[in-house]
Structure 1
Amino acid sequence: MGVVNVTPDSFSDGGQSFTPQAAVAHGLALLEQGADIVDVGGESTRPGAARPPVEEELRRVLPVVRELAAAGAVVSVDTMRAEVAALALDVGARLINDVSGGLADPAMLPLMAQAGTPYVVMHWRGHAAGMQANAAYGDVVTDVVDELRRRVEAALQAGIHPGCLIVDPGLGFAKTPEHNWELLGRLGEVREQLGHPLLVGASRKSFLGRLLADPATGQERPAGLRDAATAAVSVLAAAQGVWCLRAHDVASTLDAVRVTARWGVEAAAQAQRLLR
Structure 2
Amino acid sequence: MLEQYQPATWRCGRFLFDFAKRKRPVIMGILNVTPDSFSDGGQFRASKDARAQAERMISSGVDIIDIGGESTRPGAEPISLQEELDRVLPVIDGLKDCGVALSIDTYKAETMRQALKAGVDCVNDIWALRQVGAVDAILENSSCGIVLMHMQRDPQTMQFDPDYEDVIAEVMQFLRERTDYLVQKGVNRDRIAIDPGFGFGKSLEHNLNMLSNFKSFSKLSYPVLAGISRKSMIGKVTGKDTNDRVAASVAAAVMATDRGAKIIRVHDVPETVDALKLWEAIQQHQLPKH
TM over 0.5: yes
C-alpha RMSD of matched pairs (Å): 1.4
Match of 2:160 among 133, 140, 144: 133
- 8 Å CA contact retained: 2:110, 2:137: no
Partner of 2:65: 38
**Ranges in structure 1 where 5+ consecutive residues have no aligned partner:** 214-220
Partner of 1:165: 192
1:56 lines up with 2:75 in the alignment: no
Partner of 1:246: 265
Partner of 1:152: 179
Aligned positions, number: 262
Partner of 1:189: 216
**Ranges in structure 2 where 5+ consecutive residues have no aligned partner:** 1-27
Match of 1:206 among 215, 221, 232: 232
- 8 Å CA contact retained: 2:37, 2:73: yes
Please list the CA deviations of residues 18-62 of structure 1 after superposition, one character each: whole Å capped at 9, or x if unmatched. 112211211111111110000000010100000111100000001
Please list the CA deviations of residues 141-194 of structure 1 after superposition, one character each: whole Å capped at 9, or x if unmatched. 0011011111112222332221111000000000111111111111111111x1
Partners of 2:186 and 2:111 lie apart in 1 by: 20
Q: Matches of residues 1-276 of structure 1 in structure 2 within 5 Å?
A: 1-103=28-130, 105-116=131-142, 117-133=144-160, 135-192=162-219, 194-213=220-239, 221-268=240-287
- 8 Å CA contact retained: 1:144, 1:169: yes
Q: Does the residue aligned with 2:160 lie in a helix, a strand or coil?
A: helix
Max Rg structure = 1
Partner of 2:5: none
Partners of 2:161 and 2:88 lie apart in 1 by: 29
What amino acid is aligned across from residue 233 of structure 1 in structure 2? Answer: A
Partners of 1:228 and 1:205 lie apart in 2 by: 12
- 8 Å CA contact retained: 1:28, 1:68: no
What amino acid is aligned across from residue 223 of structure 1 in structure 2? Answer: T
What amino acid is aligned across from residue 101 of structure 1 in structure 2? Answer: A
What amino acid is aligned across from residue 265 of structure 2 in structure 1? Answer: R
Partners of 2:91 and 2:31 lie apart in 1 by: 9
Q: Does the residue aligned with 2:286 lie in a helix, a strand or coil?
A: helix
- 8 Å CA contact retained: 2:158, 2:200: yes
Higher helix share: 1
Partners of 1:73 and 1:24 lie apart in 2 by: 13
What amino acid is aligned across from residue 234 of structure 1 in structure 2? Answer: A
Give the % identical residues.
37
Q: Provide the TM-score with structure 2 as the length reference.
A: 0.87
Please list the CA deviations of residues 194-219 of structure 1 after superposition, one character each: whole Å capped at 9, or x if unmatched. 11111110000000011001xxxxxx
**CA offset at residue 245 of structure 1?**
0.1
Partners of 1:207 and 1:243 lie apart in 2 by: 21
Q: Provide the TM-score with structure 1 as the length reference.
A: 0.91
What amino acid is aligned across from residue 237 of structure 1 in structure 2? Answer: A
Q: Which stretches of structure 1, 4 residues or longer, exceed 3 Å deviation after superposition?
A: none
- 8 Å CA contact retained: 1:100, 1:126: no
Partners of 1:86 and 1:39 lie apart in 2 by: 16
- 8 Å CA contact retained: 2:150, 2:196: yes
Partners of 2:197 and 2:97 lie apart in 1 by: 30
Structure with more contact order per residue of length (Cα contacts < 8 Å, sep ≥ 6): 2
Please list the CA deviations of residues 216-245 of structure 1 after superposition, one character each: whole Å capped at 9, or x if unmatched. xxxxx1111111101111111111221110
Higher strand share: 2
